[in-house]
Structure 1
């Protein structure tokens, strides 16, 4: 089967699932009265958001890699804005923040476009991390300097460097093959999040991290993660992996994604916030939707590059 045909099959399956979900959501809305209650309203809001995200991703794939890079660059911009909005900054941080938003984001994504892997991989964790505190020095404010510099660096790390590894998957395989790798990552991550929520609601008893994320349960992680691995294995045909390899790679994605969700939930808790923002109806902010991708994307990228070089 050609790569184009596989892409059509995948998007056809996604649309079919969203149609079923939309019908179920509509029926629950009709039966429940008063919009079906907050749970049903939240479900329908999430379904509408998924329709929008799928439409944007399909349009990017149709236009080409540059469109995909631009969209992920915008995602990094809004994710970084949410992170910085929740983490207090001072006037002395303005110069490093301007550089982060208006120089580091376009440069990081340009390096992907140029397929300059050697610099893409080290640009932020080496050069940007060394430069940002130096820039803050010129702000002339030493109050909580280490804490403030660390916040900016961590925001740049998760919102720009880590997220950029998702579209960087396209440089590992030419054309549609690279797009399929990106789509595979996003599918397994989103399916894992959804199935962990479902299993947690149905079977959840033991809290996974009650202080950090009271809604997450051991049963949700095991059941939802296993379901996502099963689906990821069944989708081996859209990747360069054999079935057993797809099982291993989807397991890596699920574990890394779960770690990302917990780590960024801990950051939110420390800041006294429930969500990173309100940008996406039913999902919270951009970072709420990308928290699993933040950890999963770089791990999946480097595992794929090392074990399955193009």
Structure 2
């Protein structure tokens, strides 16, 4: 079979087309706003929309062809996220060689996805990588700041690699499924809802936000933005579930609430990390957004939550 042959169902193509339509509308609105905008007040908004065009195009291409390409795409995403994370946190000179083993966990974790070795997928990073990397650090003989260093590396592996790898496993999940589902459709569902949840929390917060929450972590987060984002995400989950998932309406509501709350937790958790380190953005790779972590922070939490919900109730 041709590896470049399209393998996604029509429902995925229709939803992607709808997203492209939204981006077209957003681009037109930004163009109108920027007319005569000599002060460049909407420059960041324009950069955000341009970046969304690039992100949507890359994601759509990644999931449109055989699943091996998509798995490789998420392996690269995990590698870039882990690299960005490790470049931010302070590391000990003695741990430079240990970081090699941390990076090696990325292709190994996605190898288990490719092979559909579910048990190893679940325990490789939480158990084997945890024990092996701690052992390698001990053998270096450096005890100063050992707990901080070991915890930082393992936390990075759990979020940037283990958490994100649940997205890739969705692609192979229906292989022996007892329900009708398609991996690319499930993947699109959780990624789309998570990213839209971020956008809608921002929009509702900017338009109606009055009451700030956890201001010391994320000063712009408001209760109105959080509630509006969660409700919007839940409505979209109910609307998209029949197209992309086997979820019942009740389960779609539960998943919408879960993604709304989980996305918020992921966002503020990475915000707390950046404040602890003393940076505003994790990088500059994505204009208008920041770095990789600034864009995938919510997915670090929503991906495993959605995955295990499906596993418990459907698979």
Q: Which runs of 5+ in 1 are unaligned?
A: none
* 1:308 matched to 2:310: no
Deviation at 1:208, TM superposition (A): 1.3
Name the residue aligned to 1:94.
Answer: 96
* Secondary structure at the counterpart of residue 212 of structure 1: coil
Deviation at 1:41, TM superposition (A): 1.3
* 1:280 matched to 2:286: yes
Listed one character per residue, the Cα deviations across residues 253-299 of structure 1 (whole Å, up to 9, x for unaligned) are 11111111111111111111111111111111101101000011111
Deviation at 1:91, TM superposition (A): 1.8
Name the residue aligned to 2:58.
Answer: 56
Name the residue aligned to 1:128.
Answer: 129
Deviation at 1:63, TM superposition (A): 2.2
1 CA distance for matches of 2:16 and 2:232?
20
1 CA distance for matches of 2:150 and 2:194?
30
Name the residue aligned to 2:22.
Answer: 17
* 1:253 matched to 2:255: no
TM-score w.r.t. the length of structure 1 is 0.95
Q: Which runs of 5+ in 2 are unaligned?
A: 1-6
* 1:79 matched to 2:84: no
Deviation at 1:96, TM superposition (A): 2.0
Runs of 4+ in 1 over 2 A off after TM superposition: 31-35
Deviation at 1:176, TM superposition (A): 7.7
* 1:271 matched to 2:273: no
1 CA distance for matches of 2:245 and 2:181?
11
Deviation at 1:139, TM superposition (A): 2.2
1 CA distance for matches of 2:134 and 2:70?
31
State whether residues 76 and 159 of structure 1, in contact with CA within 8 Å, keep that contact through their aligned partners in structure 2.
Answer: yes
* 1:109 matched to 2:114: no
State whether residues 186 and 293 of structure 1, in contact with CA within 8 Å, keep that contact through their aligned partners in structure 2.
Answer: yes
How many residues align? The count is 304
* Secondary structure at the counterpart of residue 33 of structure 1: coil
State whether residues 234 and 260 of structure 2, in contact with CA within 8 Å, keep that contact through their aligned partners in structure 1.
Answer: yes
Name the residue aligned to 1:217.
Answer: 222
State whether residues 169 and 301 of structure 1, in contact with CA within 8 Å, keep that contact through their aligned partners in structure 2.
Answer: yes
